[in-house]
Structure 1
Amino acid sequence: MMKVGIVDDRLIDLDKLRFILEEEEDVELVFATTSPEEAYKEIQKNKIDLLIADIEMPGISGYELADFIQTHGLLITVIFVTAKSGYAVHAFELNVHDYILKPYTKERLQRALSRYREKHHAGNVTGRLILKQKGHIEMIPKKDIIFAERTGRSTTIFTVDQVYETYLTMNELEGTLRENHFIRSHRSFIINLHYAKSFSIYTKKSYSVSFEGTKKTAMLTKEKMDYLQKYYF
């Protein structure tokens, strides 16, 4: 069961969230409030798995709630639902799971919940990447792959516990990693969104991506960021 708390200072927006969530069979709505102060008290109890919050609220903002969760290492995932479009990059600095712009459809919120379920039930990610190396074959669980980088004539695959070298091209690797959480973020990179931790502006046309599980970084083009904001965040 997914334990969820929601906070939005506009009652009409809060009721919309409540209505959609009540249709989800695996969702237990622990609290629904227009008061960010009340949400803050509930978060301190740490009895929810997911917080869905507006960003701009009087008193305590959604950012402050997310910052408290991150700073104190609480096992609570955050989804922002906001009318403001200029906060997405900063949201990733707080490791926010999703960023939804108002007005949104029921399907858009359901898609965010589906991605949450996928991320927190990694056992559902099945399949292995088979690398035929000289004299032996490596079988890598796809769920363990953080990202892949093409340098020169070879490709480096970074996983949660090991690094692999292969002569597979990015096109060949992309054809194998067809799961929707893998994306070709750049001509030289394929990333696993499950491990993405933050996106930072690198140049006018690109972002640097940091991950959970490695200090290595990848690149993301502005076009791909626009795509992620439209279909994922």
Structure 2
Amino acid sequence: MIRVITLDDEQLALDNLNFILKKFPELDIILSTTDANTALDSLQTMKPDLIFADISMPEINGMEIAEKILELKLATKVIFITAYEQYALDAFRVNAVDYILKPVTTSKVRHSLDKITSLSQGRPDPSLKAHGEFRIIGTQNNRFYIIRPEDGQFIKMELRDLILVTQSGEYVLRHSISYWEENLVPYGWFRCHKGYLVNMNQIEAIYPMFNSTYNVKIKNQKEAIPVSRTYIKEFRALLNI
């Protein structure tokens, strides 16, 4: 069973959400509330698997609750319920599993739950598939872009964001760097550092460093990509050096 909290400051909307969620036998609604403070307090005591939360609410909004989940490193997944499309990028940044526009329907919830199932089983998010091929979805200037793995050059951690660098620009990614490592290795990518993934087919030059590591230069990019000691043996084996 998936233990669920539902949160919406409008009782009618909350009732409608609960009515739909009760159609799914795998869901167990352990708390339903119109008060964001109650939901926030319950995250640590009840430890739900999932929260369906409205975004636009007085006092504490749904985005702040998602940020708190990240801050506390809780395993609770977030699905946003909202009437406003403009929050899509913000939802993406706080690593929400999905973003459902009102009115909530059974099919929309089913789609969101399928995404959770895929992620929990280590499979790529179904929304990242295009004609059976894995695709990277990133954001740039409040727009979503679909990028082929072979077109990406490297991925780096930058403050709280994960950035995909390509010859055409940079894109913000969701998910962890470990997630991308798992799904991009079949496309010639390599984890060269705790904060970097590199497309091996995009490497132009390799520079030995004084501490028995390497820096790599990527085609048409100025940033030097480090290869740390943790990954150096596998890196050398891949390149036969």
1:3–1:49 CA contact under 8 A, matched in 2: yes
Aligned ranges 1:83-232 → 2 under 5 Å:
83-122=83-122, 125=123, 178=132, 182-183=134-135, 185-187=146-148, 189=150, 207-209=171-173, 211-212=175-176, 213=178, 215-216=196-197
Q: State the shift of 1:44 in Å.
A: 2.2
Distance of aligned partners of 1:202 and 1:101 in 2 relative to their CA distance in 1, 3 Å threshold: farther
- Taking the aligned partners of 2:7 and 2:97, their CA distance within structure 1 comes to 16
- Taking the aligned partners of 2:162 and 2:85, their CA distance within structure 1 comes to 16
List gaps (5 residues or longer) in structure 2.
137-145, 153-159, 182-195, 200-241
Number of corresponding residues: 161
Query: Is 1:74 aligned to 2:74, yes or no?
Result: yes
More helix by share: 2
1:89–1:199 CA contact under 8 A, matched in 2: no
Partner of 1:158: none
1:2–1:49 CA contact under 8 A, matched in 2: yes
- Taking the aligned partners of 1:59 and 1:77, their CA distance within structure 2 comes to 22
TM-score, length basis structure 2: 0.57
Aligned-partner SS, 2:47: coil
Distance of aligned partners of 1:199 and 1:35 in 2 relative to their CA distance in 1, 3 Å threshold: same
- Taking the aligned partners of 1:201 and 1:89, their CA distance within structure 2 comes to 16
Aligned-partner SS, 2:84: coil
Q: Percent identity?
A: 32
TM-score, length basis structure 1: 0.59
What code does the residue aligned with 1:80 have?
F
Aligned-partner SS, 1:44: helix
Distance of aligned partners of 1:80 and 1:33 in 2 relative to their CA distance in 1, 3 Å threshold: same
Partner of 2:28: 28
Aligned-partner SS, 1:79: strand
Q: State the shift of 1:29 in Å.
A: 0.6
Distance of aligned partners of 1:208 and 1:104 in 2 relative to their CA distance in 1, 3 Å threshold: same
1:209–1:217 CA contact under 8 A, matched in 2: no
Q: State the shift of 1:67 in Å.
A: 0.7
Aligned ranges 1:35-46 → 2 under 5 Å:
35-46=35-46
Aligned-partner SS, 2:85: coil
- Taking the aligned partners of 1:8 and 1:210, their CA distance within structure 2 comes to 25
- Taking the aligned partners of 1:209 and 1:217, their CA distance within structure 2 comes to 15
2:165–2:171 CA contact under 8 A, matched in 1: yes
Q: State the shift of 1:64 in Å.
A: 1.0
Distance of aligned partners of 1:93 and 1:25 in 2 relative to their CA distance in 1, 3 Å threshold: same
- Taking the aligned partners of 1:96 and 1:200, their CA distance within structure 2 comes to 17
- Taking the aligned partners of 2:84 and 2:120, their CA distance within structure 1 comes to 27
Q: In terms of Rg, which structure is larger?
A: 2
2:17–2:104 CA contact under 8 A, matched in 1: no
- 1:181-219 Cα offsets, whole Å, 9 max, x none, are x3362255489xxxxx9687999997333551153389x
- Taking the aligned partners of 2:165 and 2:17, their CA distance within structure 1 comes to 35
What code does the residue aligned with 1:110 have?
R
